[in-house]
A and B are shown apart, each in its own frame.
Chain A
Amino acid sequence: MSRGVLVVEDDPDLLALMEMILQDAGHHVRTAPEGRAALARVAEEMPGVILLDMRMPGMNGWEFAREFRARHGRASPIVVVTAAENAAARAAEIGAEGWLAKPFDVGDVLSAVAHHLDRAG
């Protein structure tokens, strides 16, 4: 079964929205408003995939990714959610497995999550 999705995003509206989209699609969703809280969620239970915003107050996406890799290696794929011009390069920078460019299509979020959960088995 799916190990669930961890959404790390500081904008409460966007966070609530992604939570809703993913729950509607039948995923188990947990959320964190920034990196440090996200590390705590990860420690409780390893998610099947992490959707990660890059610019957040507190611990940002870069720091979270570095810390996560140091502690857990590639235990969970990371999908970067970014407004940056070159989302793919941004994702490569932190060794993320995928990326979503803001503003995204709802369908793209679902297919990215499904894709990575499938691969994780």
Chain B
Amino acid sequence: MHEAPPGAGEPPLRSTPASERLRRALSWPPLRITAIYAACAITWIVLSDRVAEALGGSGHGLLYHTGKGTLFVAVTSALLYVLVDRRERTLLALSDQVRATIDGMADAVLLVDERRGVVDANRAAVELLGVGSRDDLLVSADAWIDRFELRTPAGAPVEHDRLASARALGGERVAAYEAIARRGDGRDVFLSITASPVVVQVGRARLAVTILRDVSAARRLEELRDEFLSTAAHELKTPLAVIKAYAQLLQKRETVAGQGLVVIQRQVDRLNALVQRLLDTTRLRLDAGGGHPERFDLGAVVEEVVERARPSAPAHALSVCCPSPAPIVADRARIARVVSSLVENAVRFSPAGGPVAARVEARDGQVVVSIADRGLGIPPERQARIFERFYRAHSGTPQDYGGLGLGLELSREIVVRHGGRMWFESVPGAGSTFFFSLPLAAEAGA
């Protein structure tokens, strides 16, 4: 293959970015061609007569001038041919390379011109849409809507002005959005579409490049995930519901077995909390959504959670200090789970009992919740990892009080997804304080 002249001898491709090669190929050779041509012409003018004289041909006749001129044209034409041919081959090589690159891409690429016609498409586009050849795709972008039955995920036809390519031609960068298309073979394919305007320096053409990615597999996985979570919850919780309710009924009737039945209920609640945490982790891990946001007072939730924890922590002095209302907009159930997870940890890791103090402080547009215990504290060398999933700071120590190692990781994830953060202070032997902050909601009615 032909290398760009200035790059000759260099290692191929890796050393020179394609754009640079293109720039060189386009800007250097014309200058070179002109320079070489000019140098040859001047040399000819200066030397031709002298050389002829020296060779003894002193004639200045018509034949002499015609011969000299013809020779000049022949030599410079050959020179021009070599130079132009070389430049052309370089450009062709580069264009081939760009073509091969685009065809080699796994994602479908379409080029749309300012009249909204699809003027180019790569091989992946042909495969993705299941058409016979590239030419089947080279129709107007608007015709695509009918031809491939472009629909939104909800099933409504895509509006012409909402076409990614139309918006990109208007100068907008269209971030990934999803649409469904019907392939040539009748199968539906789920697409993630992005588009951006193409800035062309030469010729001022207005173009848009649209990239289609097949996300059908991810979509199917998402549906399976929802199905799985729903089934898992149902399968795991129905037996718990039966056991718990029977224990409650028996407790009312059988005073003798009462204590055992209380324990059964407590263990069911514990099992239920673990099931819930596993499900939450799975869901959150696979789910980009923000849950079900509503407006509520975080202080009230902290109080509720602490009240609920009180019966199962008889050796601890649980307190809540809520000086001001703290309205937030968030998924109430998930935030309650964060607080309850922190309170549970505080109780679990202060086995000798003692105070567990919750505080809620609202200021500067943020609300900060802290849960402080005077328990074991976290060994300094383990502090860096406590937010990792499955990591348990006390595992393998005499103070291993169990747990799945999911609570803190899940809690932080929930807080972060609500635009907040979580941190802690801990001194071994003196206790830990966990904090999280969330943005306060705007005034009601705003």
Residues on A close to B: CB < 8 A? 11, 13-14, 17-18, 20-21, 54-55, 82-86, 88-89, 102-107, 109
CB pair B230–A103 under 8 Å, yes or no, is no
Contact yes or no, B231 A103, CB < 8 A: no
Interface centre among B268, B291, B333 (most CB of A within 10 A): B333
Is there contact, CB below 8 Å, between B245 and A104?
yes
A119 and B236 alpha carbons, distance in the complex (Å):
33
* Contact A103–B244 (Cβ < 8 Å): yes
Q: Which B residues are in CB contact (< 8 Å) with A21?
A: 245, 249
Which residues of B (318-335) have their CB < 8 Å from a CB of A? 333
> Which residues of B from 228 to 263 have beta carbons under 8 Å from A?
229-231, 233-234, 236-238, 240-246, 248-249
Quick check: B279 and A85 within 8 Å, CB to CB? yes
Min CB distance, A73 to chain B, in Å? 27
Contacts of B233 in A (CB 8 A): 83-85
Tell me the smallest distance from the CB of B227 to a CB of chain A, in Å.
10
A104 touches B241 (CB 8 A): yes
Given contacts A13-B242, A55-B230, A86-B292, whether A106 and B248 have CB atoms under 8 Å apart is: yes
User: What B residues does A54 contact at CB under 8 A?
Assistant: 234
For the complex, give the distance between the alpha carbons of A72 and B233 in Å.
31
Would you call B245 and A17 a contact (CB within 8 A)? yes
| Among candidates B234, B242, B246, B269, residue contacting A83 with C-beta atoms closer than 8 Å | B234
Sorting the interface of chain B by its residue count into under 10, 10 to 19, 20 to 34 or 35 or more gives 20 to 34
- With A105-B248, A106-B249 as contacts: A11 and B242 at CB distance below 8 Å: yes
How close is A70's CB to chain B, nearest CB, in angstroms?
Answer: 22
Contact B245 A83 (CB under 8 A): no
Which residue of the partner chain B has the closest CB to A55? B234
Question: Closest residue to B246 on the A side, CB-wise?
Answer: A17
CB pair A83 B238 closer than 8 Å = yes
User: A103 touches which one: B241, B291, B333 (CB < 8 A)?
Assistant: B241
Q: How does the 8 Å CB contact mask read for B65-89 relative to A, with 1 for contact and 0 for none?
A: 0000000000000000000000000
Known: A17-B242, A55-B230, A83-B234. A103 touches B268 (CB 8 A): yes
Contacts of A18 in B (CB 8 A): 245
Q: Which 4 A-B residue pairings sit nearest by Cβ, starting from the closest?
A: A83-B237, A103-B241, A102-B241, A83-B233
- Which of B272-294 touch A at CB < 8 Å? 272, 276, 279-280, 283, 291-292
Residue of A nearest to B232 (CB): A83
Beyond A13-B242, A102-B237, is A84–B230 a contact (Cβ under 8 Å)? yes
Cβ distance A61 to chain B, nearest Cβ, rounded Å: 11
User: What residues of chain A lie closer than 8 Å to B238, measured between beta carbons?
Assistant: 11, 14, 83, 102
* Residues B292 and A14 in contact, CB atoms below 8 Å apart: no
17 additional contacts (CB under 8 A) given A21-B249, A103-B243:
A11-B242, A17-B242, A17-B245, A17-B246, A55-B234, A82-B234, A83-B234, A83-B238, A85-B229, A85-B233, A85-B280, A88-B292, A103-B237, A104-B245, A106-B245, A106-B249, A107-B248
20 contacts between A and B (CB under 8 A): A14-B241, A17-B246, A21-B249, A54-B234, A55-B230, A82-B234, A83-B234, A83-B236, A85-B333, A86-B333, A89-B292, A102-B237, A102-B238, A103-B241, A103-B243, A105-B245, A105-B248, A106-B245, A106-B249, A107-B248
Provide the residues of chain B in CB contact with A88, threshold 8 Å: 292
Known: A55-B230, A84-B233, A85-B280. Contact between A103 and B245, CB under 8 A? yes
Complex contact B333–A55 (CB within 8 A): no
A18–B249 CA distance with the chains assembled, in angstroms: 11
> Which residue on chain B has the smallest CB distance to residue A107?
B248
- A11 to B243 Cα, complex, angstroms: 13
Shortest Cβ gap from B290 to chain A (Å) = 13
CB distance from A38 to the nearest CB of B (A): 18
How many Å lie between the Cα of A21 and that of B247 in the bound state?
A: 12
Q: Give Cα distance in the complex from A14 to B246, angstroms.
A: 10
CA separation between A107 and B249, bound complex, in Å? 10
A105 to B244, CA, bound (A): 8
In the bound complex, CA of A13 to CA of B230 (Å):
20
The verdict on A14 contacting B242 (CB below 8 Å), with A84-B233, A86-B292 known, is yes
- Considering the complex, give the chain A residue whose CB is closest to the CB of B248: A106
Given contacts A11-B238, A83-B236, contact A103 B272 (CB under 8 A): yes
Complex contacts, A105 vs chain B, CB 8 Å: 244-245, 248
Give Cα distance in the complex from A72 to B268, angstroms: 38
Does A103 contact B283, Cβ atoms closer than 8 Å? no
CA distance A84 to B279 in the complex (A): 10
Q: How far is the CB of A36 from chain B (nearest CB, A)?
A: 19
